[in-house]
Amino acid sequence: MVPFTLTTPPDAVPNADGPTYLAGGTTLADLMKLNVLQPDRVAHLRGFQSTAIEEIDGELWVGAGCTMAALADHPIVRARLPAVRHALILAASPQIRNMATVGGNLLQRTRCPYYRHTEFRCNKREPGSGCDAQEEGADRSLMAVLGTSERCIANYPGDFAVAFAALGGTIETAHPDGNRSISATDLHRLPEDTPHIETVLRPGELISQLVLPLSPAAANGWYCKVRERSSYAFALASAAVGLELDGDRVTSCHIALGGVGTKPWRSPEAEAVLTGQQATDERIEAASEAALADANPPKGTEYKVTLAKRTLAFALKRLRDEGPPDDATLLALQHGREFG
Ligand code: SF4
């Protein structure tokens, strides 16, 4: 690890020329140890950011310093935001969930192995150097199938951000040039020609709050995650879904995919197929087809297109028929007993 200076609040006040922010440290410290990131000044945000969770006018306002564990266990999240609870629980081990903050978790970096090992060429780590993930013989099995570019095919690895995008979340930020609100779907950028610029945040801009609408569709939700092993693994494909039903007619819905996109992948195309329609098996399968219609899988990732369609259809049908899984069912699903 390259030597660095650790500063503390109030040096962490948003500042375009300021230090790199450290929240829970579960991504930054990891990448510093690998020499992937080498900041010379790091500001620890613990004690500086709000950790409060409050319901205000039909929205849940969450301080960015709140841990993943604290948000997952909040009574309002348990009762009215099941997809958020599921995504947080399935995201990581208890140790990580107790350290990682929700603001930091939105900004976690890709798990592309060619990014995380400095002997490989990577446009995200070193702009313009190339992309060894796209060379002959590379292992691309965990890469993205939606939103890729010639410069980068890495997928966004997180779970919580997928549920957050599905449910129409927004973030509030602080910056010396002005605070602002950014929708969850606008926070992450597509890689295009600049994969090293992952979000729309300006240098020194700090996420201060996360805001989640509390809607009937959000209260009837699920985050369904498929992975290589039954715990502590990143999604091969996942679906964050929410349905408001009038009988078997969908009055509103939320759909986003994880594990397959270069960013958390909300699908307005799939939502449009279902909204206002009967939630028949055929309609749900059409929505799943629509969600993956733009897939452009790199060689070795083709399986993810089918997997993501089936994951989404499974999640929607199960939610239609049985509602959100309780914790016992979620954990049974997590360990694979109901995936035949
Ligand atoms: Fe880097 Fe993206 Fe290529 Fe991975 S896919 S090596 S992150 S440029």
Atom number, ligand 1, closest to the C-alpha of residue 122: 1
**Ligand 1 contact, 36 CB (< 6 A):** no
What separation in Å is there between the alpha carbon of 136 and the centre of ligand 1?
14
Q: What is the pTM of this model?
A: 0.95
**Ligand 1 contact, 261 CB (< 6 A):** no
| pLDDT tens-digit readout, 287-307 | 999 999 999 999 999 999 999
| pLDDT tens-digit readout, 218-274 | 999 999 999 988 777 899 999 999 999 999 999 999 999 999 999 999 999 999 999
**Number of domains making up the chain:** 1
| pLDDT tens-digit readout, 178-228 | 899 999 999 999 999 999 999 999 988 999 999 999 999 999 999 999 998
| pLDDT tens-digit readout, 69-107 | 999 999 999 999 999 999 999 998 889 999 999 999 999
Q: Does residue 337 lie in a domain region?
A: no
Q: Does residue 89 lie in a domain region?
A: no
Q: Does residue 298 lie in a domain region?
A: yes
Residue 137 has pLDDT above 70, yes or no: yes
Is-contact 51 66, C-beta < 8 A?
yes
Q: What is the mean pLDDT of the chain?
A: 93
pLDDT of residue 340: 37
**Ligand 1 contact, 144 CB (< 6 A):** no
CATH number, domain at 310?
A: 3.30.390.50
Q: Does residue 268 lie in a domain region?
A: yes
| Residue range of the domain that includes 295 | 220-323
Residue nearest to atom 1 of ligand 1 (CA): 122
